[in-house]
Amino acid sequence: MINYTEKIPNNVDLGRDRVLQRALEHWQPAYMSWWYDMGPNESHNYDVYLRTAVSVEPDGWAQFDYVKMPEYRWGIFLQPRDEKRLVNFGIHKGQPAWQEVPGEYRSILRRIIVTQGDTEPASVEQQKMLGISCPSLYDLRNIFQVNVEEGRHLWAMVYLLHRYFGRDGREEAEALLARRSGDTDNPRILGAFNEPTPDWLAFYMFTFFTDRDGKFQLCALAESGFDPLSRTCRFMLTEEAHHMFVGETGVARIIQRTCEVMKENNVEDPSDVRALGVIDLQTIQRYLNFHYSVTLDLYGSDVSSNAANYFTSGLKGRFRETKLDDDHVLGEAEYPVSEVIGDKIVTKKVPALTALNERLRDDYIDEIADGVGRWQRVIDNAGVSFRLTLPRKGFHREIGNFAGRFISPEGEVLTQEAWKKHEIQWLPSAKDYAYVQSLMSGRVTEPGKFANWIAPPVRGINNQPLDFEYVRFN
Ligand SMILES: [Fe+2]
Ligand SMILES: [Fe+2]
């Protein structure tokens, strides 16, 4: 008999709920065998300087120590309950927030939780092989931190499935461990989570772009009238911030290193830049185009009756719902969405309720644009003349109004033939991937050393020095 209160740090009184304990007793070994199988390659014996959450208090969710990852304490934490919390939007607006699942919303709520939960193990699977080419111990530690926390996010969703959805929930929890990223027979649910993450530039782009989609989805679910979901997502968001930090600073450090080498050697041409063993800015732009566009698809169709239902039912709100100054019902409101008519992109107004995916995507794009602006400043400060740009929304999309269309990064509507001619300038090619991977043929393991293609960070983790031994290989 496992003492769950000890083994799984939690603030949900795990030790008192026998049904839940039995469900977890069954699921935990399956989770561990998934971790041994799909967690970071050959890492199981490493001692990693990790942050572990042991409570939701400010001093409790950031405890640092060396941990072997299979012994990481994947805990279950909900933000403390606010007894006065209400459903804040949709047709149930003003009712007390639900502490149990409303019967009529059971299946859609389960679907929402499963879809969110599925992304968590997927990203661990996508990143499995990257440890063998890490640019430093600092970066290796960071990817492992992201991986164990994605594991914890899976636990968070599985807790909700086990606690509130009975047998169906238990079956869904097992299926979450059975799907595999990129598998032809049993893939992960969403497209971007089946794309490979083949190198460290892709990893940083993924954590900047795709983990930020995670943030916006969690923010929308944190508004949910189903209170346990809201409280779970609120705590997950505290961890998500670090993942986006890893992505943003990772790309910024690559840009910085490239610019330094360009200036020192007075070169601009991409092939000259590559000859010096760093990643040319044009390739970074193509990676950006790819990760941005596949992540935009995660928000779903521009016009969606499902999105309207989620909102009207009080299950999934807008970004910062309670801070928005409107009726939170959206009976009359309109919202602009774009579509292709002839050879032009036109904007038209549709009922705001049906455009909630598009609205969340737009909120996301605003935040992305700020981050890309910070990358641009690294280039400007180095005195290099190059502009990073965000492609227009319609570029390289497979879901929504732009699916099946051929839009250039500047927003021109092209024929398939014309688009294909330029694809190699816009998206990473097999040659780009091969070049980037050629830089990452081995791992850098000497404390304080960094691969040639990336600058050191400004500071270490938890005030440790840069030459701290963040990972011990044993
Ligand atoms: Fe996550
Ligand atoms: Fe994340």
Return the DSSP state at 350.
E
Contact 462, 64 (CB under 8 A): yes
pLDDT digits (tens, 9 = 90+) for 58-70: 777 778 999 999 9
Distance 301 CA to ligand 2 centre (A): 23
Q: How many helices (H) and strands (E) does the chain have?
A: 13, 5
Task: Let me know the angle formed at the C-alpha of 235 by 125 and 136, rounded to the nearest 5 degrees.
Answer: 45
Confidence class for position 6, pLDDT limits 50, 70, 90: low
**How much is the pLDDT for 32?**
96
CA-to-CA distance for 236 and 238, rounded, in angstroms? 5
Burial of 300 (0-12, 13-18, 19+ CB in 10 A): middle
CA-to-CA distance for 96 and 83, rounded, in angstroms? 9
Q: Is residue 302 predicted with pLDDT exceeding 90? A: yes
Distance 305 CA to ligand 1 centre (A): 26
List Cα–Cα distances, 229 to 33, 169, 210, in angstroms. 27, 14, 21
Confidence class for position 237, pLDDT limits 50, 70, 90: very high
Distance 165 CA to ligand 2 centre (A): 25
- How large is the average pLDDT for residues 194-200? 95
For every residue of 420-457, DSSP letters joined together read: HHHHHHHS--HHHHHHHHHHTSS---STT---TTSPPP
CA-to-CA distance for 164 and 110, rounded, in angstroms? 9
Among 222, 246, 228, which residue's Cα sits nearest to residue 149?
A: 246
- Nearest ligand, measured from the Cα of 242: 2
**How much is the pLDDT for 135?**
98
Phi, psi of 59, deg, nearest 5:
-90, 0
**How much is the pLDDT for 152?**
95
Q: Is residue 54 predicted with pLDDT exceeding 80? A: no
**How much is the pLDDT for 5?**
59
**How much is the pLDDT for 48?**
98
Place of tokens 């970071």: 40
pLDDT digits (tens, 9 = 90+) for 395-428: 999 999 999 999 999 999 999 999 999 999 999 9
pLDDT digits (tens, 9 = 90+) for 70-120: 999 898 999 999 999 999 999 999 999 999 999 999 999 999 999 999 999
Distance 122 CA to ligand 2 centre (A): 11
What are the residues facing 63 on neighbouring strands?
52
Contact 118, 441 (CB under 8 A): no
Distance 124 CA to ligand 2 centre (A): 10
Burial of 428 (0-12, 13-18, 19+ CB in 10 A): buried
Average pLDDT for the chain: 95
Distance 38 CA to ligand 1 centre (A): 16
Distance 278 CA to ligand 1 centre (A): 30
In this structure, the chain runs to a length of 474
Among 358, 265, 342, 349, which residue's Cα sits nearest to residue 306?
A: 358
Contact 309, 446 (CB under 8 A): no
Distance 344 CA to ligand 2 centre (A): 36
% of the chain at pLDDT higher than 70: 99
CA-to-CA distance for 151 and 32, rounded, in angstroms? 10
CA-to-CA distance for 47 and 255, rounded, in angstroms? 30
Q: Is residue 36 predicted with pLDDT exceeding 70? A: yes
Q: Is residue 307 predicted with pLDDT exceeding 60? A: yes
**How much is the pLDDT for 3?**
58
Q: Hey, is 21 helix, strand or coil?
A: helix
| Weakest-pLDDT range from 17-31, 82-96, 276-290, 297-311 | 17-31
For every residue of 317-344, DSSP letters joined together read: --TTGGGS-S-SS-SS-EEEEEEEETTE
Q: Hey, is 67 helix, strand or coil?
A: strand
- How large is the average pLDDT for residues 156-177? 97
**How much is the pLDDT for 25?**
83
- How large is the average pLDDT for residues 328-347? 96
Confidence class for position 7, pLDDT limits 50, 70, 90: confident
CB atoms inside a 10 Å sphere around CB 432:
21
Distance 406 CA to ligand 1 centre (A): 32
- Nearest ligand, measured from the Cα of 155: 1
Question: Which parts of 165-192 fold into alpha helices (H)?
Answer: 166-178
Identity of the residue numbered 386: F
- Nearest ligand, measured from the Cα of 116: 1
Contact 97, 145 (CB under 8 A): no
Among 339, 335, 350, which residue's Cα sits nearest to residue 404?
A: 339
- Nearest ligand, measured from the Cα of 121: 1
**How much is the pLDDT for 56?**
78
Beta pairing, strands 47-52 & 334-341: unpaired
- How large is the average pLDDT for residues 337-345? 96
**How much is the pLDDT for 18?**
85
- How large is the average pLDDT for residues 372-394? 98
Q: Is residue 196 predicted with pLDDT exceeding 50? A: yes
pLDDT digits (tens, 9 = 90+) for 349-370: 999 999 999 999 999 999 999 9
**How much is the pLDDT for 1?**
44
